[in-house]
């Protein structure tokens, strides 16, 4: 897929979009109540290791109806056979619409131009569990230097996922908005332009976009409908700008989520990486903070 989109075009377009936005009235409560609110289990990773069943039960008691998994390996998650883990969730009234599974350069055979069997199995298992999405959570340091060679990896994963009945996605950190590919485009621009948008969606980590000093709304406007999932964690008003529970920081989630329709946003996923109290307490404070938003 070719594209003549340049950095200069991007800056010009965002400036125009920002100017145009000034004339668009903002109407509170302009979108329906959030239908899909979950938590990325990385937020309570140590608790999940120590007491998987107890932690799932605690999350359910807080009001979480969905989770996003991680750590899938060899047909297991958190030490349990994958189907057993899914049943544990179901028994607590929780579903898992998405999970994070790593797809790096080793997940693809350039000779046969196909995914490895292990990569295929991770997608097949996600499909068998009724997941809507399987999301690549990260790009390894060496792979960032060969973004042109990562494009066929993600394209192959997205094609295989589509055939399996699952949508493939990519979750960003800040480096995708900083590091550039061989032609000068940002890594995020490579991913947005070089992989068929009909096959791959994106999970915007709003905190990391803000950490990279970009406005999520600009990306919504330029790439409408491309951001079907998001990670919601707030940013502390400190020099380090560390992540913090939703509602306790400086990110204006109301302003951002008023544009959910433009973004294509369907799944809102709370995440914690730093803790003021304990992970479990942070998870509860985060859902309480999210539920106080008025957008």
Q: What is the pLDDT of residues 43-64, one digit of tens each?
A: 999 999 999 999 999 999 999 9
CB 270 within 8 A of CB 283: yes
Enter the pTM of the model.
Answer: 0.89
pLDDT value at position 33?
Answer: 75
| 8-state DSSP, 135 | E
Sites in the chain below the pLDDT cut of 70: 1-32
- List alpha helices for the chain, DSSP H: 7-21, 45-50, 52-62, 82-91, 117-128, 141-144, 147-164, 187-194, 206-211, 216-222, 253-257, 260-263, 279-291
pLDDT tens-digit readout, 189-229: 999 999 999 999 999 999 999 999 999 999 999 999 999 99
Q: Of 141, 70, 69, 73, give the one whose Cα is nearest residue 105.
A: 141
pLDDT value at position 3?
Answer: 44
Site of tokens 């502390």: 236
How long, in residues, is the chain?
A: 295
pLDDT value at position 236?
Answer: 97
pLDDT value at position 9?
Answer: 52
Q: How many CB atoms lie within 10 A of CB 155?
A: 19
Between helix 117-128 and helix 147-164 the angle, nearest 10°, is: 40
Q: Where are the domains of the chain?
A: 41-291
- The superfamily in CATH containing domain 41-291 is Divalent-metal-dependent TIM barrel enzymes (3.20.20.150)
């Amino acid at each position: 897929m070719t594209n003549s989109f340049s950095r200069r075009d991007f800056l010009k377009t965002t400036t125009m979009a920002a100017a145009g936005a000034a004339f668009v009235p903002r109407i509170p409560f302009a979108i329906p109540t959030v239908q899909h609110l979950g938590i990325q289990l990385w937020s309570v990773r140590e608790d999940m290791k120590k007491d998987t069943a107890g932690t799932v039960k605690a999350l359910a008691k807080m009001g979480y109806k969905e989770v996003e998994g991680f750590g899938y390996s060899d047909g297991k998650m958190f030490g349990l056979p994958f189907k057993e883990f899914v049943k544990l969730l179901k028994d607590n009234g929780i579903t898992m619409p998405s999970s994070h599974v790593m797809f790096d350069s080793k997940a693809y055979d350039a000779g046969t131009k196909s995914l490895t069997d292990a990569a295929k199995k991770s997608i097949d298992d996600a499909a068998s569990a009724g997941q809507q999405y399987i999301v690549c959570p990260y790009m390894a340091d060496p792979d960032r230097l060969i973004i042109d060679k990562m494009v066929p990896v993600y394209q192959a994963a997205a094609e295989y996922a589509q055939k399996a009945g699952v949508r493939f996605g990519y979750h960003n950190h800040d480096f995708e908005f900083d590091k550039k590919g061989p032609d000068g485009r940002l890594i995020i621009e490579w991913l947005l332009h070089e992989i068929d948008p009909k096959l791959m969606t994106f999970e915007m980590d709003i905190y990391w976009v803000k950490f990279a000093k970009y406005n999520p709304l600009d990306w919504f406007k330029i790439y409408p409908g491309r951001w079907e999932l998001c990670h919601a964690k707030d940013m502390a008003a400190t020099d380090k700008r560390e992540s913090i529970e939703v509602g306790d920081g400086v990110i204006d989630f109301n302003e951002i989520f008023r544009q959910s329709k433009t973004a294509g946003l369907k799944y809102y996923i709370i995440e914690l990486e730093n803790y003021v109290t304990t992970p479990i307490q942070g998870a509860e404070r985060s859902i309480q903070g999210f539920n106080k938003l008025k957008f």
